[in-house]
Amino acid sequence: MKLLVIAGGFHSLVLGSLSRKTVVINSKGLELQDLREFVAEESPTADSVLITDEAFSQKLGQDREHLTHFLEWVKDSGRPGIPVLIITRDSMRVEDFAALSSRYSNLRIVTIDKVRAPLDIFQFELDIAARRESSSIHTNSQAVHKIQNETQANKEPVERKRSFFDRFRSKPDSSTEQLEATDRLSRELDNISRGISRIIAITGHRGSGVTSTIVNLAHEASKRGLSTIIIDMDTEYRSMNMYFDRFHERTNKEEQMSSSLIRTLARPQDYMTTAFNIKDNLWLTSLGYSFHDHRLMEQFYNSEKLIGLISVLRSRFNLVLLDMPLDLFRKFKETMIHIDIFGLCVPNNLHAVLSTVRNVEVVLDQEKATYLNAKAKVIVTQYNDRSRFQDQLFTPDKVSEVLTSGLSEYFRYDMRTAGAVPYNSGFDSQIETDVPLTNTGAEFERAFGQMLLRLMEGA
């Protein structure tokens, strides 16, 4: 079967998921906007056409126009019945292209009820299209995968679902029986749906531990099987370069990677080529120290572009982490309503609490500050278990209590605590060694695991 793949930056991954009997006729990734020129120059002959989310822009009108032109070309090409299959995680595409589905009987839209489309779905749906076994225009993948899963179940026994902790514990010696984690945190994390997606902004006054908290949360989420991307919006300090040495080295060698954040904001659907893949399910987009193009910053570093990026990544990742110190919300106020929850970093000392309150009052108006207050959970960073306030231990819950005790009219609602980062004298070693705190011992693993759980639960 000859296949035309329209998958943007996802092209190579789609190719790797297809069977050998499927011959892809385009060697490079295509988007909908490329099709007019491609068919005019190449006059391709295909048995099927596969379109994924990465082919679409964020401009529905243009996407609809490009798709209509392509479907007309297919109709006039002498093979009007070849299947054109859209596999998408965005259920709204069914409504967006309903008129085209009615007009062109060969257009079929399949929605995937998962954050990340399983790669085997592409070949599975193509085989169905080739056999013409399905006559419906729109299909929900949950139903067709039920058949596939039942077939698989007949071939092999169903394996018991593994604990989150099982995924990152080192393998036991052959002489030692592997034990199942039974602590409460493991059980609660097991209950997190793999289909869940959260946009979480970690914020706080500068120096409160925002970047370090994000780095450790990202590593913890990745270890537990959650697909994660960090968006480093702190273009002034760009501290992610210190925590991810491979990214920093790459930015020194490649100008394109040094401008990763700007390129990702400009073309969100191409994040797989514009962002940096730290490991299998962990990505980063930031700026290298060498990037200083003020013209591009003015053009793409704004709320509109960030909102567009968030809307794309929400359907691609379980967790999108924004590095957003409080002062950045002066420029990105409009972005706030698109964020699910804020992790507010506050060390447990009175100076830090007052600095946090003052920063919020200076940066935000009362309406936005109230929204932050209602959607935030407190993360106590650099936690000092000897710190005291009014002759009592300054515990994490006490920090939240003091913040909302009437110090400011901007903090009207009680805020829950997401967790605390234990004090560590070797805190800076994670920069020197490229090893995050959460990978250095059980105490930090539990702390960031608990924090991750509370943030994923939402506000």
Tell me what pLDDT residue 19 has.
Answer: 81
What residue type is assigned to position 357 of the chain?
V
Determine the Cα–Cα distance for residues 44 and 33; give it in Å rounded to an integer.
Answer: 16
Tell me what pLDDT residue 357 has.
Answer: 95
CA 161 to chain centre: 24
Instruction: Show Cβ contacts of residue 249 under 8 Å, excluding neighbours closer than 6 positions.
Output: none
Tell me what pLDDT residue 324 has.
Answer: 97
Tokens of residue 149, six digits: 């899963």
Determine the Cα–Cα distance for residues 382 and 440; give it in Å rounded to an integer.
Answer: 16
Which DSSP category does 205 fall into? S
CATH number at 422 reads 3.40.50.300
Task: Evaluate whether residue 329 is within a structural domain.
Answer: yes
Task: Evaluate whether residue 389 is within a structural domain.
Answer: yes
Domain boundary residue among 106, 139, 155?
155
Q: Which residue has the tokens 């296949």?
A: 3
Tell me what pLDDT residue 117 has.
Answer: 54
Is 119 exposed, middle or buried (CB count within 10 Å of its CB: 0-12, 13-18, 19+)?
middle
Tell me what pLDDT residue 120 has.
Answer: 61
Same domain membership, residue 201 and residue 150: no
CB 262 within 8 A of CB 295: no
Is 297 exposed, middle or buried (CB count within 10 Å of its CB: 0-12, 13-18, 19+)?
middle
Same domain membership, residue 204 and residue 119: no
Domain boundary residue among 155, 170, 205?
155
DSSP 241-305: HHH-HHHHHHHHH-HHHHTHHHHHHH-GGGHHHHSEEEETTEEEE---TT---HHHHHHHSSHHH
Same domain membership, residue 224 and residue 323: yes
133-183 pLDDT, tens digit per residue, is 343 444 444 444 443 444 444 444 444 445 444 444 444 443 333 333 345
Q: Which residues of the chain have pLDDT under 70?
A: 113-121, 124, 128-195, 426-428
CB 373 within 8 A of CB 405: no
Tell me what pLDDT residue 178 has.
Answer: 33
Same domain membership, residue 117 and residue 17: yes
Same domain membership, residue 380 and residue 231: yes
Determine the Cα–Cα distance for residues 346 and 359; give it in Å rounded to an integer.
Answer: 12
Tell me what pLDDT residue 10 has.
Answer: 82
Instruction: Show Cβ contacts of residue 176 under 8 Å, excluding neighbours closer than 6 positions.
Output: none
224-242 pLDDT, tens digit per residue, is 889 999 999 999 999 999 9
Task: Evaluate whether residue 71 is within a structural domain.
Answer: yes
Task: Evaluate whether residue 304 is within a structural domain.
Answer: yes
What residue type is assigned to position 20 of the chain?
R
Same domain membership, residue 436 and residue 395: yes
Task: Evaluate whether residue 391 is within a structural domain.
Answer: yes
What residue type is assigned to position 209 of the chain?
G
Task: Evaluate whether residue 178 is within a structural domain.
Answer: no
Number of domains in the chain: 2
Same domain membership, residue 262 and residue 199: yes
Same domain membership, residue 203 and residue 147: no
Tell me what pLDDT residue 96 has.
Answer: 84
Same domain membership, residue 220 and residue 84: no
CATH number at 62 reads 3.40.50.2300
Task: Evaluate whether residue 177 is within a structural domain.
Answer: no
Tokens of residue 46, six digits: 């295909």
Phi/psi at 383 (nearest 5 deg)?
-65, 120
Same domain membership, residue 105 and residue 19: yes
Task: Evaluate whether residue 377 is within a structural domain.
Answer: yes
Same domain membership, residue 247 and residue 100: no
* CA separation, residue 212 to residues 136, 269, 306, 365 (Å): 50, 27, 22, 28
Q: Which domain holds residue 89?
A: 2-155
Domain boundary residue among 155, 175, 209?
155
Same domain membership, residue 316 and residue 249: yes
Do β-strands 341-345 and 376-383 pair in parallel, antiparallel, or remain unpaired? parallel
Go through 389-418 and write b for each residue having 16 or more CB atoms within 10 A of its CB, e for each that does not: beeeebbbebbbebbbeeebebbeeebebb
CB 290 within 8 A of CB 332: no
Describe the chain by its helix, strand, coil percentages, rounded to 5: 45, 15, 35
Tell me what pLDDT residue 250 has.
Answer: 96
